[in-house]
Chains A and B, each alone.
Chain A
């Protein structure tokens, strides 16, 4: 019944917020890591630090959500608590969506804090509505990416390690630090199949309000990424219980 599933999604997300997001792995990977990067960039180039803000927000979105998922899914697969959730009259999909939503909320809080703090400190004025329209689907995409890797492996550290591959690829290729237009053609092509490209692009536009109409494409592409990540993640989790 859909009411059961809806309730389960809510319970699971809420419980994960309470039990996991203060644990060391979530905090270290989700918060400290982006903060260290930010500091590194700031120290190297304090002059045009503003330019980096959209990229850094994108990175926070990426790291907070993926780190959170690796923790909530792998710990529970290992301890058998995911099985406990599946004993209730709810679908595997809603268990996974509950988990993804928990990571989403954690990421949302982290991202909001960073965005508000840096905007006030640097006197930036992004369009809050447009920023939210990009940040929200992005958080869902990367939370699902984390979920996908977590159900595909066995151990927490495996998920974190494997996740570093797409994470670092995306930091360098998706316009977080170097503009995509300055890269060779083949790297540009690669960038366009990575979701973070659309996050960074959308966030930049919401800060500088340049040709905001193309943000709709970013939003659409992000939604497509969300679907193509969450569906196989659900399938993989279902496979574990056959």
Chain B
């Protein structure tokens, strides 16, 4: 194996991402062709990215795109098949034990101990990380208050609602005041209210200077929380940019949503013949989003299509570019695949 210094990566034959790791002395996570195979299956494909101090960096990708696999490698629960990464300057292959002292991890499942009370769970983690005895209790109580669980501190974790479990799992990851917080799908499986309140907490951590690496399959979550987003599809980073830039890249292209009065899912080909030079995404049986092209031509073509098909137009909306449009344009995937709900624990 060739030696390297964290500041001078030798990026060889990656070519998957335009953005090479931004190398500043503020980079706290850097990966170099980080790769994971499960047998012959390529789960994570030569990732190159870096995360800066104080930044919230998001991995946005559909189910099975390799988000969890990447986090597991970065936190030492799984070994990369190829490539390297450094966390706070420590090589994950050789110095993970040192790195672990300064990272906090929220796994994709809330796996604290059901039988222990909220407070005892935090105290156990504090002891495990060697937090000084006189700090432990104060820190645990502080976190319980921040996460709104102080009143329930003596109740067993097992009796908590899903949102409370998630919140306590985040609190547990912060008990040793880590420099980097890893969050694997923090809000998956939560109801809207619980998810919003958790996002507020994460956003507060960010404003206090906490470096955060999070994964999500919610576009709005990535948009709201992240300074930069890496879009991950099938183990590959397709694009890394700020939410604003991603949205801007979709600007200038008309995005028009049309709802028809009948099912047109099987007739998308006919529609696309009528409006050439555009990309059409089925949003529903009777609803499409059309990107690109000239709006006037799109209206005309769509109208013609509806007439030929013997159906009507119900709604026509012109859409302001959102992260969804950017996502569609960049990945060629419908954002619907991101909405496939999983049940979280």
**Bind each other:** yes
**Is B129 positioned at the interface, with any CB of A under 8 Å from its CB?**
yes
Contact yes or no, A19 B107, CB < 8 A: no
Most B Cβ at <10 Å: residue of A4, A81, A87, A241:
A87
Contact yes or no, B77 A89, CB < 8 A: no
**Which residues of the partner chain B approach A79 to less than 8 Å between Cβ atoms?**
111
**Is B76 positioned at the interface, with any CB of A under 8 Å from its CB?**
yes
Contact yes or no, B130 A81, CB < 8 A: no
A87-124 vs B, Cβ < 8 Å mask (1 yes, 0 no): 11111000000000000000000000000000000000
Known: A4-B130, A88-B129. A80 touches B105 (CB 8 A): no
Contact yes or no, B124 A87, CB < 8 A: no
Contact yes or no, B97 A89, CB < 8 A: yes
Contact yes or no, A15 B79, CB < 8 A: no
Residue of A15, A83, A89, A91 near B113 (CB, 8 A) is A15
- State A156–B101 Cα separation when bound (angstroms): 32
Question: Which chain A residues (71-93) contact chain B, with CB distance < 8 Å?
Answer: 79-81, 83-91
Residue of B112, B113, B115, B128 near A88 (CB, 8 A) is B128
**Is A11 positioned at the interface, with any CB of B under 8 Å from its CB?**
yes
Contact yes or no, A87 B111, CB < 8 A: no
Contact yes or no, B113 A81, CB < 8 A: yes
Closest to B115 in A: A19
- State A237–B98 Cα separation when bound (angstroms): 21
**Is A139 positioned at the interface, with any CB of B under 8 Å from its CB?**
no
Most A Cβ at <10 Å: residue of B105, B107, B130:
B130
**Is B23 positioned at the interface, with any CB of A under 8 Å from its CB?**
no
Closest CB in chain B relative to A237 CB, distance in Å? 12
Closest CB in chain A relative to B309 CB, distance in Å? 51
Closest CB in chain A relative to B36 CB, distance in Å? 11
- State A84–B175 Cα separation when bound (angstroms): 13
**Is A8 positioned at the interface, with any CB of B under 8 Å from its CB?**
yes
- State A91–B78 Cα separation when bound (angstroms): 14
Residue of B100, B113, B130 near A19 (CB, 8 A) is B113
Contact yes or no, A84 B111, CB < 8 A: yes
**Which residues of the partner chain B approach A242 to less than 8 Å between Cβ atoms?**
78-79
Question: Which chain B residues (94-116) contact chain A, with CB distance < 8 Å?
Answer: 97-98, 100-101, 103, 105, 107, 109, 111-113, 115-116
Closest CB in chain A relative to B111 CB, distance in Å? 4
Contact yes or no, A85 B113, CB < 8 A: no
Residue of B78, B103, B112, B127 near A84 (CB, 8 A) is B112
Most B Cβ at <10 Å: residue of A8, A84, A88:
A84
**Is A7 positioned at the interface, with any CB of B under 8 Å from its CB?**
yes
- State A84–B105 Cα separation when bound (angstroms): 9
- State A85–B79 Cα separation when bound (angstroms): 17
**Which residues of the partner chain B approach A15 to less than 8 Å between Cβ atoms?**
113, 116, 124
Residue of B77, B107, B128 near A11 (CB, 8 A) is B128
**Which residues of the partner chain A approach B112 to less than 8 Å between Cβ atoms?**
81, 84
**Is B75 positioned at the interface, with any CB of A under 8 Å from its CB?**
yes
**Which residues of the partner chain B approach A84 to less than 8 Å between Cβ atoms?**
107, 111-112, 125
Closest to B156 in A: A19
- State A8–B130 Cα separation when bound (angstroms): 9
B144-160 vs A, Cβ < 8 Å mask (1 yes, 0 no): 00000000000000000
Closest CB in chain A relative to B209 CB, distance in Å? 22
Known: A242-B78, A242-B79. A87 touches B97 (CB 8 A): no
Contact yes or no, A87 B77, CB < 8 A: yes
Residue of B78, B105, B116, B127 near A87 (CB, 8 A) is B105
Contact yes or no, B128 A8, CB < 8 A: yes
Question: Which chain B residues (8-44) contact chain A, with CB distance < 8 Å?
Answer: none
Contact yes or no, B111 A80, CB < 8 A: yes
**Which residues of the partner chain B approach A80 to less than 8 Å between Cβ atoms?**
107, 109, 111
Contact yes or no, A83 B101, CB < 8 A: no
Q: Could you list 24 A-B pairs, sorted by A, with CB under 8 Å?
A: A7-B127, A7-B130, A11-B128, A12-B128, A15-B116, A18-B115, A18-B116, A19-B115, A81-B112, A83-B77, A84-B107, A84-B111, A84-B125, A86-B76, A87-B77, A87-B100, A88-B100, A88-B125, A89-B97, A89-B101, A91-B97, A241-B77, A242-B78, A242-B79
Instruction: A80-B109, A83-B77, A86-B77 are known; give 4 further A-B pairs, CB within 8 A.
Output: A11-B128, A15-B113, A87-B76, A90-B97
5 closest cross-chain pairs (CB), A and B: A89-B100, A80-B111, A19-B115, A88-B128, A11-B127
